[in-house]
Amino acid sequence: MEFVYNHFPNLERSADQLLQSLVQTLQMVFGSGVISFCLGIFFGVCLVVMRRGGILQNIILYTVLEKTINVIRSVPFLILIIILIPLTRLIMGTTIGVQGAIVPLVIGTAPFFSRQVETAISEVDDGLVEASVAMGMSPLMIIWRVYLRESIPALARVTQITTINLISLVTLAGAVGAGGLGDFAIRFGHMHGMRDLMWITIAIILVMVSIVQGLGNIVIKKTTR
Amino acid sequence: MAVNMISLKNVSKIFATKYGNVRAIHNVNVDIVESEIFGIIGHSGAGKSTLIRCINLLEAPTSGSVVVDGEDMTTLSKKALCDKRKKIGMIFQHFYLMPSRTVLQNVMLPLKGANMPKHEKVKKAEDLLNLVGLSHRVSAYPSALSGGEKQRVAIARALANDPNVLLCDEATSALDPQTTTSILNLLKEVNAKLGITIVLITHEMAVIKEICDRVAVMEGGEIKELGTVFDVFATPQSDVGREFVASTTSLHKVYELIEKNSPLTQLASDEILVKLAFTANNAQETLLHDAATRFGIKTNIFFGNVEFIQGKPIGNLVVIVKGPQENIDNALNYLQENEVSVKVL
């Protein structure tokens, strides 16, 4: 402990704030992550099954969904947060803090993840789907037992990428009032000139990213045949 | 009394593409009898793949009716169609086993949702794997199997719901000749044991010859001829039929030699080259020898081939006949009277 306080002189005073910021970051990553994961899987599956030749082909819905995703994805995240302020206030009742960050984080992440899920699921051989139709499976069964089940390694891979992306967005949201490690790094590390706290923040985020990476790799390894 | 298991009536399929409509199959009428092995042969693009997909409605026909085991597939509701498809097994050229599931789980897959306790499903799948000779590989994953083993698993999976019909889409086209034979033998065994109706499509006449009872020859989306395999082999009626039959013998090489004026086919002035086709009724008799001794001609067999189709012999001989013109004519007449088909080349 002596060593830590010697090299990071400002840590002792700010430890509480740091811990609080970490909790906020984790809340934002988990909260928006889980919601984005569900939405992304849903819309990603929709894109695959509704496209031309899909098992629930619906060209109109597909086109609407596809264009919407493209439009949202092309808006930079910082601008997205600002234009979403009225919607965020409507849904969450506030635009700051962890609660205020969830809506823009989800809207910033889910479309990206949907695309990733679409790509992952598209890797499932059309022949497997045809064989399943021939077996008498309903579209819902095919989605569950074939599309999702057979693409678990690919889904783990894109979840990994998206989560790491999300961690970076959460940090960015800290700059505009969301709190968390991004906010901590800016306030203490930058504005108060406490460089040691900046390094600690980076180290914590590095650990988070490594954990995500490691967990993803385990899932991929266990499910790849 | 033979019962129709599958009845296709005026079935047509038109694909709309960017470049206009493509007629994949046109006005096909076929009745496939219960428990028979029915083959459909054609070159790629002949429409055979589309046709077999019309039977379980993987492709919905543009017009016409598809009756399987007394029910018109085209009029079923979505739910009823799913249930009906459980009674129509299908296997594919590229097997399409689920890579993330073991052999046993693959065979149990069609049983998911069936009203049956888990241990019965396992038992059922194990029995089927036993039937296809793979009971020692239940916990292997498909990636660890050879092509022949994969197709055996696919057959077991296709049989899981006790179907009345098994559709085979180029099921042996990705396999080597030896494995092809073993898979065909398995299909024959399944047909004999379970009485299941088998429809198979292929571009290899050898497959038809090996296991089919009847065959339809397709070209340009139409059925050009249909009959027992023996009849089609003995007396093919269509050009494409003749071509497929010729593909299984070396007979076409003889024609090539003649066309090229090979020295082998150069004839003396008192010689002619004749093709004789024998069928079951006369293949065992000593007709050629009789003709030679009775009419004083000499024969030299230039090419010979005897096939056994459905246990009956079909023979083709190309013979150089030497002798006075009158004697040759008499000899050929004699052969024709004995139902040998004679063609002077």
The answer to whether A117 and A155 are in contact (CB under 8 A) is yes
Nearest CA in chain B to A136: B82
| Mean pLDDT calculated for residue range B171-180 | 94
Which residue of B83, B99, B157 is in closest CB contact with A136? B83
Domain match, B226 and B274 both: no
Report the C-alpha gap between A83 and A104 in whole angstroms: 9
Q: A53: buried, middle or exposed (CB in 10 Å: 19+, 13-18, 0-12)? A: exposed
Domain match, B102 and B223 both: yes
The CATH superfamily label for domain A23-223 reads MetI-like (1.10.3720.10)
Report the C-alpha gap between B167 and A205 in whole angstroms: 56
Tell me whether residues A135 and B86 touch, CB distance under 8 A: yes
Domain match, B228 and B266 both: no
pLDDT at B67: 96
| pLDDT above 70 as % of chain B | 98
pLDDT at A42: 98
pLDDT at B285: 67
Report the C-alpha gap between B260 and B254 in whole angstroms: 10
Final residue of a domain: which of B247, B271, B304?
A: B247
pLDDT at B14: 94
Tokens of B219: 């070209």
| A174 DSSP 8-state letter | G
- Contact residues, chain B, for A133 at CB < 8 Å: 58, 85
Q: Rounded mean pLDDT of chain B?
A: 91
pLDDT for B245 beyond 90 = no
pLDDT at B77: 95
pLDDT per residue as tens digits for the range A29-47: 999 999 999 999 999 999 9
Q: CB contact, 8 Å: B16 with chain A?
A: no
pLDDT per residue as tens digits for the range A48-89: 999 999 999 999 999 999 999 999 999 999 999 999 999 999
pLDDT at A84: 93
Split at pLDDT 50, 70, 90, the class of B246 is confident
pLDDT for A190 beyond 60 = yes
Domain match, B210 and B315 both: no
Domain match, B157 and B98 both: yes
Report the C-alpha gap between B34 and B214 in whole angstroms: 12
Nearest to A154 by CA among A116, A109, A209: A116
Domain match, B230 and B168 both: yes
Q: Is B29 helix (H, G, I), strand (E, B) or coil?
A: strand
Query: Torsions phi, psi of B41, nearest 5?
Result: -120, 145
Tokens of A73: 């994805």
Mutate which of B100, B111, B155 to test chain A, going by most A C-beta atoms within 10 A? Answer: B100
Report the C-alpha gap between A172 and A156 in whole angstroms: 24
**What sections of chain A are H helices per DSSP?**
2-7, 11-50, 59-73, 77-83, 85-92, 97-122, 126-134, 139-142, 149-150, 152-173, 180-184, 195-223
pLDDT at B331: 87
pLDDT at B302: 81
pLDDT per residue as tens digits for the range B87-97: 999 999 999 99
What total number of domains does chain B contain? 2
Tokens of B238: 């269509």
Q: Comparing B267 with B8, which gets the higher pLDDT?
A: B8
pLDDT at B283: 65
The angle, 0 to 180 degrees and rounded to 10, between the axes of the packed helices B177-194 and B147-158 is 20
pLDDT at B79: 94
Q: Rounded mean pLDDT of chain A?
A: 93
Q: Comparing A130 with B280, which gets the higher pLDDT?
A: A130
Final residue of a domain: which of B212, B247, B282?
A: B247
| Mean pLDDT calculated for residue range A107-117 | 97
pLDDT at A29: 96
Final residue of a domain: which of B247, B272, B305?
A: B247
Contacts of A165 (CB under 8 A, 6+ apart): A109, A112
Domain match, B253 and B238 both: no
Domain match, B180 and B275 both: no
The answer to whether A79 and A173 are in contact (CB under 8 A) is no
| Mean pLDDT calculated for residue range B201-209 | 92
pLDDT per residue as tens digits for the range B107-158: 999 999 888 999 999 999 999 999 999 999 999 999 999 999 999 999 999 9
The answer to whether B141 and B44 are in contact (CB under 8 A) is no
Report the C-alpha gap between A87 and A6 in whole angstroms: 47
Report the C-alpha gap between B227 and B237 in whole angstroms: 10
- Contact residues, chain B, for A223 at CB < 8 Å: 100
pLDDT per residue as tens digits for the range A137-161: 999 999 999 999 999 999 999 999 9
Report the C-alpha gap between A73 and B324 in whole angstroms: 92
Strand partners for B41:
B202, B217
pLDDT at B318: 87
pLDDT at A15: 87
CATH of residue B17: 3.40.50.300
pLDDT at B284: 63
CATH of residue B339: 3.30.70.260
Which residues constitute the domain of residue B263? 249-344
Nearest to A115 by CA among A35, A47, A30, A29: A47
The answer to whether B158 and B89 are in contact (CB under 8 A) is yes
The answer to whether A225 and B143 are in contact (CB under 8 A) is yes
Q: CB contact, 8 Å: B96 with chain A?
A: yes
Q: Is A138 helix (H, G, I), strand (E, B) or coil?
A: coil
The answer to whether B217 and B223 are in contact (CB under 8 A) is yes
Report the C-alpha gap between A17 and A4 in whole angstroms: 17
CA B122 to centroid of chain Cα atoms: 34
Domain match, B240 and B269 both: no
Q: CB contact, 8 Å: B58 with chain A?
A: yes
pLDDT at A58: 96
Nearest to B102 by CA among B70, B141, B148, B136: B141
pLDDT at B107: 97
Tell me whether residues A136 and B90 touch, CB distance under 8 A: no
Q: CB contact, 8 Å: B143 with chain A?
A: yes
- Contact residues, chain A, for B141 at CB < 8 Å: 225
Domain match, B240 and B255 both: no
pLDDT for B1 beyond 60 = no
Cα angle value B137/B141/B147 (rounded, 5°): 75
Q: What is the CB-side half-sphere exposure of residue B311 using CA atoms within 13 A? A: 1
Nearest CA in chain A to B102: A225
Please report the residues numbered 157 through 196 in chain B whose beta carbons come closer than 8 angstroms to any beta carbon of chain A.
157, 161, 167
Does the predicted interface ipTM exceed a cut of 0.85? yes
pLDDT at A11: 81
